Amino acid sequence: MNNDQDVLLLETLLSEIEFPVDLNEVSEEDSPNLPDDILQLKDDIKSIVDSISNVRDGGTKSSFNFYVKGIGDRDREERRSIAQKITQNLPKGYTIGDNNFTKTDEGPYFYVTIGDKKYRIFVKGLGKSPFDTDTDQKEGLVIFMYNILNAGENLKPFNKENLESNVEILNKSIDSSSLTEGIDNKALGAIKSLLTALNNSDLDKFPVNKFKNFNNPYSIALKINQDYSGEKIIRDGAFNEARAMGQQYVKVQQDKFVKLVQGKGIKLSGDGWDKLLDDEKQLKATYGSFKLINFLLDNSERTNPRDAILDLVSYGLSLSGVNPTFFKLRGTNDGSAANDPVKFPAGSTTSLNEDPEIINSSKAGGFLLKTVINTVQGGEITDTKKYSHRFRTSGGDQISIV
């Protein structure tokens, strides 16, 4: 999977069946019995990138994963930059082959030939960096840095030359009530944790790819200070009230759905019914998802929402009698021409084999709809299949059913 929401959803579902797991967590130990070629390659790569931690076999004798500390496994751009650096600086004796560095939607890999053996090397991230920032830290840093700039302090863009002096300014400012004004306790605590990570690290070895996590809020603070110098930014008080109102809107759409389906043979599971999301994007995704399904139920000709959900899934799968698909072509695995179309009459219909289930998690935006659908022809069940459909954003501001 290469979609963060899908990864998060799978982690949530596994947690709900009492099998909690971090899908990005990797042991820092090498796989046992690595070939001597790969062990030597690791040593040579470490002389180029000293943050290389360990090597795990990739499931085949010719595929290996090299893990880099301080980079999340979803940070493809940073991993690709490191992979390019490796291929450009490996010593003689290695023959560098093809790579996928131009494909931004894939994790980076390259081929290398050692002697008469050809290996594919994947560059992976080893968990989350202590310098990664979440929403609380980013928004808090914007206010914090704005207050610092507004007070006339010489805070500059974050780079190797300015990092030490900038950290000194942040450290001496964090306990000043005037310079932390407008920051709520949650964001302030998150900033202090980030500062602790900075103070406990060797700034001379600060990962270059993490400067952006500080420069992004700095650039926003700088622009606000240029346009609105002397004003106050708040993330507490009225801000929290507005956010609470936003959560309440989600609660109202969600409660409307619950009232519609209660006692109608629809299972509701997950912890999202009682615990609302804090993340703004996920909150919007959940709000939009409930707004969409409520719209579908309100405009359905069915009096029972269970039947409306059946129609929704059946239509999307081109299974029910109301869909425009009446013939089906079955493809062949060998690429030869498909057989003649199989008649799929409009009289075909569907039924639910078991109650549909809505899984609403407090850890992911939107929700999951699970169904088991019977295809019925001539009064007999001819097929039964399980389906899962996710109500979520399509990467922008629209909600999709996928």
Task: Output the pLDDT for position 335.
Answer: 63
The pair of structure tokens assigned to 288 is: 């939009």
As a whole number, mean pLDDT of residues 305-323 equals 76
Task: Output the pLDDT for position 17.
Answer: 58
Task: Output the pLDDT for position 172.
Answer: 94
As a whole number, mean pLDDT of residues 299-317 equals 86
How would residue 88 be classed by pLDDT, with cut points 50, 70 and 90?
A: very high
The answer on pLDDT for 240 being more than 80 is no
* C-alpha–C-alpha distance, residues 287 and 365, integer Å: 9
The answer on pLDDT for 150 being more than 90 is yes
Q: Identify which has the larger pLDDT, 322 or 139.
A: 139
Half-sphere exposure of 115 (CA within 13 A, CB side): 7
> Which among 207, 122, 231, 109 has a CA at the least distance from the CA of 158?
207
The answer on pLDDT for 250 being more than 80 is no
Q: Identify which has the larger pLDDT, 362 or 217.
A: 217
pLDDT digits (tens, 9 = 90+) for 58-81: 877 899 999 988 777 667 888 899
Q: What percent of the chain has pLDDT over 70?
A: 79
Task: Output the pLDDT for position 120.
Answer: 94
As a whole number, mean pLDDT of residues 242-266 equals 79
Task: Output the pLDDT for position 256.
Answer: 87
How would residue 342 be classed by pLDDT, with cut points 50, 70 and 90?
A: low
The answer on pLDDT for 20 being more than 60 is no
Task: Output the pLDDT for position 331.
Answer: 65
Task: Output the pLDDT for position 344.
Answer: 55
CB atoms within 10 A of CB 91: 8
pLDDT digits (tens, 9 = 90+) for 213-237: 899 889 999 999 998 888 888 877 6
Task: Output the pLDDT for position 365.
Answer: 81
Give φ, ψ of 199 to 5 degrees.
-70, -25
Task: Output the pLDDT for position 119.
Answer: 94
Q: What percent of the chain has pLDDT over 90?
A: 27
The answer on pLDDT for 275 being more than 90 is no
Task: Output the pLDDT for position 99.
Answer: 94
How would residue 318 be classed by pLDDT, with cut points 50, 70 and 90?
A: low
Q: What is the 3-state secondary structure (H, E, C) of 230-287?
A: CCCCCCCCHHHHHHHHHHHHHHHHHHHHHHHHCCCCCEEECCCCCCCCCCHHHHHHHH
> Which among 34, 32, 29 has a CA at the least distance from the CA of 117?
34
How would residue 204 be classed by pLDDT, with cut points 50, 70 and 90?
A: confident
* C-alpha–C-alpha distance, residues 30 and 65, integer Å: 10
pLDDT digits (tens, 9 = 90+) for 376-388: 877 788 888 888 8
Segment (H or E) for 208:
none
Task: Output the pLDDT for position 25.
Answer: 52
Q: Which of 3-7, 178-182, 331-335, 348-352 has the lowest mean pLDDT?
A: 3-7
Q: Identify which has the larger pLDDT, 40 or 246.
A: 40
How would residue 330 be classed by pLDDT, with cut points 50, 70 and 90?
A: low
The answer on pLDDT for 176 being more than 60 is yes
Q: Which of the residue ranges 36-40, 131-135, 185-189, 250-254 has the most confident prediction, judged by mean pLDDT?
A: 36-40
